[in-house]
């Protein structure tokens, strides 16, 4: 995944001229024959090409390998088209089922439906609204596809655009004639346009998309969008200012990246200012590269104040979990946990922790790394439980969610109203959004003896989530509820750290 894919997109289904959910005719074939024709249209070519590839002899020269790569690329495009149709039709069917359930007789309501209705009222949500239906389905599809909700949301946006709007583009993709990237670009540039303008765009772009590069298709699609867009460039810029934001994402080796979305003039001014200071008055003995100096100046300006300034009152706010044994045995190779990021070197964590205003002792499983208990010397049990969950779960326990513990809340696995206890065996962290999913939208969870949480989606998919603090996952047996057992060699150095001056067997003797 490239850096640009990490950035939050401003693509939106509301920017496409689509009918409301439940009234999108392409997802509702007229009769059995039409359904069979639709199925053949999107899946028969996949089966034929997959059979052809399967029957090929082993490679014997580079030329045949390249031809096979072309055929594999064609198969992948066909699969992308079939996935788009399946995604779009599935969410349409969910909307249809919800609408039919909304018309059901309240006297036939099950106890589970009654609890979900009450919870929906509590959270102030309407399970039949388009936004809730879509969000709930995206969460389920993310489990099925084993992808993040953000990625599935982007896929569903493209799928709806292809299925219900850019149908010629979908047909070309299903035939393997254009790339998935070209199809996505056409849908993205269809936003804010009328149906007639979108048809015109397809007529112009599809012939060239069959042979031109993706970059060329994207460039021409953006130009056509700007020419056809009924809103002026100035008005679009003023509206775009509302989307200014500061975001970040994690990268490998203890690094992270920062993205600031703001008016281009402001960004260019910032970049030029930083580059000016990085290029002037450079110490001849400074061995840093230009890029390193620019990054250091930007960092210093925010955290320490602009050069020659009086500094800044801003101080870093971080939460760390530092394994004591790893810090003592080998601090150079040991890893601590930086909340909101993940593992960082113990040495770097100790530097951050030296000025920490407070610390909490945490008991962890020595093999899996999972947090098991926290010290209660200074805290009430409720505060201690919160501290335990924060270091044990690390983030929201909903499948695929990475919202930090700081932005999540304590939630009961077995509902408190039904007798569930408020203890470490019946609590987990859930963000506000996924609390609503669990209590109002039909998601179910169960705590397992090995510390994991089993989830069941509204339509029956099952998955298991481990606590975020678990570092060693080998040996977890969710089927038979067995926790891992790891055999390790206790060297003399480890024995000294554990306080065993002599081996235990010698002590016993």
Question: Which token pair is 186?
Answer: 């056409």
> Looking at residue 1, what is its pLDDT?
39
The string of pLDDT tens digits covering residues 254-309 is 899 999 998 887 888 788 888 888 888 788 888 999 899 999 989 888 887 765 55
395: left (phi over 0), alpha (psi -120 to 50) or beta: beta
> Looking at residue 187, what is its pLDDT?
94
Query: CA of 282: how far to CAs of 286, 373, 499, in Å?
Result: 7, 52, 53
Lowest-pLDDT range of 109-113, 215-219, 340-344: 340-344
Of residues 337, 330, 331, 412, the one with CA closest to residue 370? 337
d(CA 281, CA 298): 16
The stretch 425-452 carries a mean pLDDT of: 84
> Looking at residue 483, what is its pLDDT?
56
Confidence category of residue 402, pLDDT binned at 50, 70, 90: confident
- φ, ψ (nearest 5 deg) of residue 221: -65, -40
Confidence category of residue 405, pLDDT binned at 50, 70, 90: confident
Q: Which residue carries 């408020």 as its tokens? A: 422
DSSP collapsed to 3 states, 254-277: CCEEEEEECCHHHHHHHHHHHHHH
What is 407-428 written as a DSSP string? GEEEEESS-GGGT--SSTTSEE
Confidence category of residue 3, pLDDT binned at 50, 70, 90: very low
Question: Which token pair is 409?
Answer: 């809340």
The stretch 361-385 carries a mean pLDDT of: 61
d(CA 398, CA 369): 20
99 or 256, higher pLDDT:
256
Torsion of Cα atoms, 105 then 111 then 116 then 121, to 10°? 70
Of residues 145, 178, 192, 139, the one with CA closest to residue 11? 192
The stretch 439-467 carries a mean pLDDT of: 83
> Looking at residue 59, what is its pLDDT?
86
Torsion of Cα atoms, 472 then 476 then 478 then 480, to 10°? -160
Positive or negative, the Cα torsion across 106, 112, 118, 122?
A: negative
Q: Which residue carries 């024995």 as its tokens? A: 495
pLDDT at 379 exceeding the cut of 50: no
d(CA 499, CA 325): 11
The span from the first CA to the last CA of the chain, in angstroms, equals 59
The stretch 371-399 carries a mean pLDDT of: 72
d(CA 80, CA 182): 12
Of residues 204, 206, 182, 201, the one with CA closest to residue 191? 201
d(CA 177, CA 170): 10
- CA atoms within a 13 Å half-sphere pointing along the CA-CB vector of 371: 28
d(CA 463, CA 355): 41
Lowest-pLDDT range of 29-43, 112-126, 231-245, 490-504: 490-504
The string of pLDDT tens digits covering residues 101-112 is 765 556 666 777
259, 7 in Cβ contact below 8 A? yes
Lowest-pLDDT range of 73-77, 103-107, 112-116, 377-381: 377-381
pLDDT at 78 exceeding the cut of 90: yes
- φ, ψ (nearest 5 deg) of residue 71: -65, -35
Positive or negative, the Cα torsion across 400, 186, 83, 134?
A: positive
Q: In what order do the strands lie in the sheet with 462-465?
A: 444-447, 453-456, 462-465
246, 258 in Cβ contact below 8 A? yes
What's the whole-number average pLDDT of the chain?
A: 79
pLDDT at 8 exceeding the cut of 50: no
Residue 279, Cβ density class (10 Å: 0-12 exposed, 13-18 middle, ≥19 buried): exposed
d(CA 133, CA 127): 6
User: Within the chain, what is the greatest distance between any pair of CA atoms?
Assistant: 90
329 or 94, higher pLDDT:
94
Beta bridge partners of 362: 374
Question: 373: which residues sit within 8 A by CB, 6+ positions away?
Answer: 362, 363, 388, 424
> Looking at residue 53, what is its pLDDT?
93
Beta bridge partners of 464: 454
Confidence category of residue 9, pLDDT binned at 50, 70, 90: low
- φ, ψ (nearest 5 deg) of residue 342: 135, -150
Select the highest-mean-pLDDT range: 209-218, 311-320, 412-421, 431-440.
Answer: 431-440
pLDDT at 69 exceeding the cut of 90: yes
- CA atoms within a 13 Å half-sphere pointing along the CA-CB vector of 338: 21
The stretch 123-130 carries a mean pLDDT of: 76
pLDDT at 5 exceeding the cut of 50: no
> Looking at residue 6, what is its pLDDT?
36
The string of pLDDT tens digits covering residues 52-66 is 999 998 888 888 899
pLDDT at 487 exceeding the cut of 60: no
Whether the full predicted model's pTM is greater than 0.75, yes or no, is no
55 or 325, higher pLDDT:
55
Percent of the chain clearing pLDDT 70 (strictly above): 75
404 or 83, higher pLDDT:
83
- φ, ψ (nearest 5 deg) of residue 502: -120, 155
């Amino acid at each position: 995944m490239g850096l640009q894919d990490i950035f939050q997109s401003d693509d939106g289904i509301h920017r496409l001229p689509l009918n409301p959910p439940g009234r999108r005719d392409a997802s509702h074939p007229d009769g059995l024959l039409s359904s069979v024709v639709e199925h053949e249209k999107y899946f028969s070519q996949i089966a034929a090409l997959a059979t052809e590839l399967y029957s090929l002899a082993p490679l014997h020269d580079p030329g045949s390998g390249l031809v096979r790569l072309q055929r594999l690329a064609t198969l992948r495009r066909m699969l992308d088209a079939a996935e788009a149709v399946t995604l779009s039709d599935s969410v349409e069917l969910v909307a249809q089922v919800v609408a039919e359930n909304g018309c059901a007789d309240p006297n036939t309501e099950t106890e589970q439906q009654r609890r979900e209705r009450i919870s929906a009222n509590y959270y102030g949500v309407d399970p039949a609204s388009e936004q809730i239906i879509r969000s709930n389905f995206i969460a389920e599809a993310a489990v099925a596809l084993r992808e993040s909700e953000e990625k599935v949301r982007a896929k569903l946006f493209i799928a709806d655009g292809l299925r219900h709007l850019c149908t010629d583009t979908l047909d070309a993709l299903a035939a393997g004639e254009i790339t998935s990237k070209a199809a996505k670009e056409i849908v993205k540039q269809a936003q804010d346009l009328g149906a007639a303008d979108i048809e015109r765009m397809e007529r112009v772009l599809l012939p060239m998309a069959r042979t031109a590069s993706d970059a060329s298709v994207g460039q021409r699609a953006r130009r056509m969008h700007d020419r056809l867009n009924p809103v002026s460039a100035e008005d679009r810029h003023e509206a775009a200012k509302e989307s200014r934001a500061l975001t970040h994402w994690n990268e490998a080796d203890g690094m992270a990246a920062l993205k600031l979305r703001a008016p281009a003039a402001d960004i260019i001014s910032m970049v030029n200012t930083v580059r000016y200071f990085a290029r002037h008055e450079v110490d001849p003995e400074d061995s840093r590269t230009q890029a390193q100096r620019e990054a250091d100046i930007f960092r210093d300006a925010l955290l320490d104040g602009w050069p020659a300034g009086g500094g800044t009152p801003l101080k870093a706010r971080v939460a760390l979990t530092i394994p004591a044994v790893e810090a003592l045995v080998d601090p150079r190779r040991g890893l601590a946990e930086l909340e909101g990021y993940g593992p960082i070197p113990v040495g770097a964590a100790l530097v951050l922790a030296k000025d920490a205003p407070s610390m909490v002792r945490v008991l962890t499983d020595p093999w899996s790394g999972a947090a098991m208990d926290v010290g209660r010397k200074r805290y009430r049990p409720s505060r201690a439980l919160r501290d335990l969950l924060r270091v044990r779960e690390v983030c929201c326990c909903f499948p695929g969610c990475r919202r930090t513990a700081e932005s999540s809340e304590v939630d009961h696995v077995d509902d408190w109203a039904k007798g569930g206890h408020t203890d470490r065996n019946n609590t987990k962290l859930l963000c506000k959004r996924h609390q609503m999913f669990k209590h109002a939208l039909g998601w179910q969870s169960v705590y397992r003896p090995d510390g994991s949480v089993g989830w069941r989606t509204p339509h029956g998919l099952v998955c298991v989530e481990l606590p975020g603090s678990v570092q060693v996952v080998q040996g977890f047996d969710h089927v038979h509820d067995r926790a891992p057992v790891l055999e390790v060699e206790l060297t003399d150095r480890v024995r000294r750290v554990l306080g065993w001056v002599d081996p235990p067997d010698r002590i016993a003797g």
